[in-house]
């Protein structure tokens, strides 16, 4: 028993969860919501499983296609080098299969320059400063411009 501020006896309050506990947990709306949550969780698991399977299949197919393209490219290159197939026939097959018959090669070379310039007679030419501007530098072979052009300046002589 409990007493109020005036000293009167009042019954202890019973928490609603004790009184309604089982009734609340068995309420049709709550039961329906719990079922919906369980269904959504199952659907999420199913979607995740399908997504993972689809990604695995797509990766496997992509790898297989990549291997097939490389194999076809190699076979066509070999047949052409053995003169068993013409370039036109190889190109026709490659176009039908939507693959490029190209390869990447590395090219290196040396670019040298010379010129004259006027400097003060009082300037120390042993410590002359220079700058190589390669912004407009381009190199091409067989009509194709080199990509990722590296350069280095190795030696600059002043006479």
Q: Taking the domains of the chain in order of start, what are their residue ranges? A: 12-96
* Distance, CA of 139 to CA of 145 (rounded, Å): 6
Q: What's residue 109's pLDDT?
A: 75
**pLDDT score at 156:** 66
Distance CA 126, CA 16 (A): 96
Q: How far apart are CA 88 and CA 143, in angstroms?
A: 20
pLDDT score of 133: 66
Check residue 6 and give its pLDDT.
Answer: 81
pLDDT along the chain (159 residues), means of 10: 74 61 69 91 94 95 93 93 93 92 79 73 73 69 70 67
Q: Please tell me the predicted confidence (pLDDT) of residue 90.
A: 93
The full length of the chain comes to 159
pLDDT given at position 57: 96
Cα torsion 53, 55, 56, 60 to 10°: value is 140
Closest residue by Cα to residue 75 from 45, 99, 109, 58: 99
C-alpha to C-alpha distance for 93 and 71, rounded to whole angstroms: 13
pTM given for the model: 0.45
């Amino acid at each position: 028993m409990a007493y109020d501020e005036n000293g009167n006896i009042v019954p202890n309050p019973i928490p609603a969860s004790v009184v309604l506990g089982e009734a609340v947990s068995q309420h049709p709306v709550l039961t329906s919501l719990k079922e919906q949550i369980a269904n959504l969780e199952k659907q999420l698991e199913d979607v995740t499983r399908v997504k993972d399977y689809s990604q695995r299949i797509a990766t496997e197919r992509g790898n297989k296609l990549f291997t097939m393209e490389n194999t076809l490219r190699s076979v066509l290159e070999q047949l052409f080098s053995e003169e068993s197939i013409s370039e036109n026939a190889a190109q026709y097959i490659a176009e039908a299969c939507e693959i490029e018959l190209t390869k990447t090669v590395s090219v290196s070379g040396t670019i040298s320059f010379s010129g004259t310039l006027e400097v003060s007679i009082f300037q120390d030419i042993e410590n002359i400063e220079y700058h190589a501007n390669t912004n407009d530098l381009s190199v091409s072979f067989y009509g194709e411009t080199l990509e990722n052009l590296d350069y280095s300046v190795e030696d600059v002589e002043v006479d």
